[in-house]
Amino acid sequence: MKCSICGGKAALKMRHHHLQLCKDHFLEWIPQQTERFIKKYRMFTHSDHILVAVSGGKDSLSLWDVLCRLGYTADGLYINLGIDGGFEYSSQSRQFTQQFAAQRGLKLHIVNVEEDYGSSIPDLARSSHRGQEKPCAVCGVSKRHIMNRLARDLGYSVLATGHNLDDEAAVLFGNTLEWKIDPLTRQGPVLEEKDGLSRKVKPFCRFYERETAAYALLRGIPYVYDECPFAEGSRSIYYKELLNRLETGRPGAKLIFYLEFLKAKEAGAFSTAAFPEEAGLSPCPGCGQPTSTNGLCSFCRMVGKSEIPAS
Amino acid sequence: MKCSICGGKAALKMRHHHLQLCKDHFLEWIPQQTERFIKKYRMFTHSDHILVAVSGGKDSLSLWDVLCRLGYTADGLYINLGIDGGFEYSSQSRQFTQQFAAQRGLKLHIVNVEEDYGSSIPDLARSSHRGQEKPCAVCGVSKRHIMNRLARDLGYSVLATGHNLDDEAAVLFGNTLEWKIDPLTRQGPVLEEKDGLSRKVKPFCRFYERETAAYALLRGIPYVYDECPFAEGSRSIYYKELLNRLETGRPGAKLIFYLEFLKAKEAGAFSTAAFPEEAGLSPCPGCGQPTSTNGLCSFCRMVGKSEIPAS
């Protein structure tokens, strides 16, 4: 297998692009493509201050690496969720993240959920009606809240996450299987700033998971290999498995599914007129972030429910 | 396992409906539900003359049986495609269909493709650019053409086909995976009469395949068990397998996928303004059926291409 560019030994074959690249050309290709997506979807420019949400995994660390290589001003945000899972998941992922930032002299903000809110995510979940079975819903609400709070309080103009194509296709697949038109049509590489919620972008949304993993490996970025211990058996992993089967039968199927959706959306295929968003948003009296409820937002209620005052 | 109605021995469990029924109640439930779908989607009334497309399989024979039990005026149309596949597929399915009609004194029209057009479907496919690998595309075009011709020439007001939920979900899945908005939004239990094309309805579109199979078995309707020999390896079978995996993990997933799509469509979720249908249709100079081309329709060109004059 030869590199499509230099004829050297190819390290990765990307059947969906009819492209195979050697290590060096692959490590060039990823930033080139990322830059192309950033421009195509008008994610940000070199005058933006970017906050990258980093988990210590391959996607977010690779994204941070690529953004720095491309010369963007990007600081990191690590949220310590307090998840152990028998192998100190949070502690390990924090170490990989801190090591990455320290080696490159990058600025990293760390939020410790237990210190700031009195309980770790698993503890918050245990005391909330949302998390009786799995803490994933509680974790999602908390991460969104904290990312928005940091981006707003520290004046970042855009929040970047490491979601890859497999992540995006799985979310789209889930919403499509039940034709949830409102969340379906809101999905995309960019979520505009709205009602005080940060502008959010996903520069890696067109890379397959194996491409971001290959980037981290070939670039020598140490990252936490294990999935979050609570992810096992989750619906999104189930959808990813189904999409992987589809991809095996038809290379590129996932990319087509996601890109054709974006094209259809752009061309005006979906009308949300009949599916009004929830009632207007108003600032939560607890934290100031927008909420569709009359009182406290989900996050503040969740923290309040476990009788811990919001920070 | 007890019948939800009478407490007798249940023959079938329908987890998605939280319902399990004995043989007698299941054989009542299928026509009741069919009647409900016919009314809900305004398919036809007792004053309509219905032409049922029968293939000799479980779905179409069960549909014909149910329509007769419900007191509708329904004649049959069998199209002899001339497919052998090593086990005389067409010949077997014709026999099952003729036997069904004769035992009930029902009117059955038989069209023999080879007699009417000079070549069987496999032969037509071999001489057409559409059917170099598989005759399925040629077969689809031919069946649509012949069904429309018969319904129009013999004055039937509606054409009913035995498509079940598994068929419909697979088509929807295929169109959704590539976001083909125009065919996507045209799918539904009823296709209105248009430009001389017959009104088409699918009264079994909400029944799982195993339900129509159970109906045929419990009702003692002999039918051709084997799939068409050309179906193996087809994309629709591949999609059905994926959807079956989804259904195994979440009973009712297929039904939700189809019904929520219909609901979203009804509520105006899709805008086809940006996806205009192909240029206006005009009558084909060969057969009079509408076509989007300037000259002969696909069917006439196909038959012409193999140098057989259109009937």
Residues B96-152: tens digit of each pLDDT: 999 999 999 999 999 999 999 888 888 888 887 765 668 888 899 899 999 999 999
Phi, psi of B92 (to 5 degrees): -60, -45
Average pLDDT, chain B: 91
Is the pLDDT score of B45 beyond 90?
Answer: yes
Q: Tell me the C-alpha distance between A273 and A190, whole Å.
A: 21
The A-side interface with B (CB below 8 A) comprises 176-179, 181, 238, 242, 245-246, 249, 253, 256-257, 260-261, 263-264, 267-275
The B-side interface with A (CB below 8 A) comprises 176-179, 181, 238, 242, 245-246, 249, 253, 256-257, 260-261, 263-264, 267-275
Predicted local distance difference test score (pLDDT) of residue B308: 41
Predicted local distance difference test score (pLDDT) of residue A303: 83
Predicted local distance difference test score (pLDDT) of residue B158: 97
Instruction: Select from A178, A242, A274 the Cβ nearest to the Cβ of B267.
Output: A274
Give the model confidence (pLDDT) of B10-37 as tens digits: 999 999 999 999 999 999 999 999 999 9
Instruction: Select from B260, B268, B273 the Cβ nearest to the Cβ of A179.
Output: B260
Q: B274 to chain A: which residues are within 8 Å by CB? A: 267-269
- Residue A16 is classified by DSSP as G
Give the model confidence (pLDDT) of B216-267 as tens digits: 999 999 999 988 888 888 889 999 999 999 999 899 999 999 999 999 999 9
Q: What is the ipTM of this complex?
A: 0.89
Tokens 């890109």 belong to: A259
Is the pLDDT score of B310 beyond 70?
Answer: no
Q: Which residues of chain A have pLDDT under 50?
A: 305-311
* Cross-strand pairs, A51: A75, A159
Predicted local distance difference test score (pLDDT) of residue A278: 53
* Cross-strand pairs, B200: B159, B191
Instruction: Select from A177, A257, A271 the Cβ nearest to the Cβ of B270.
Output: A271
Q: Tell me the C-alpha distance between B176 and A262, whole Å.
A: 12
Distance from CA of A231 to the nearest CA of B (A): 17
Nearest to B206 by CA among B11, B48, B66, B6: B66
Predicted local distance difference test score (pLDDT) of residue B131: 58
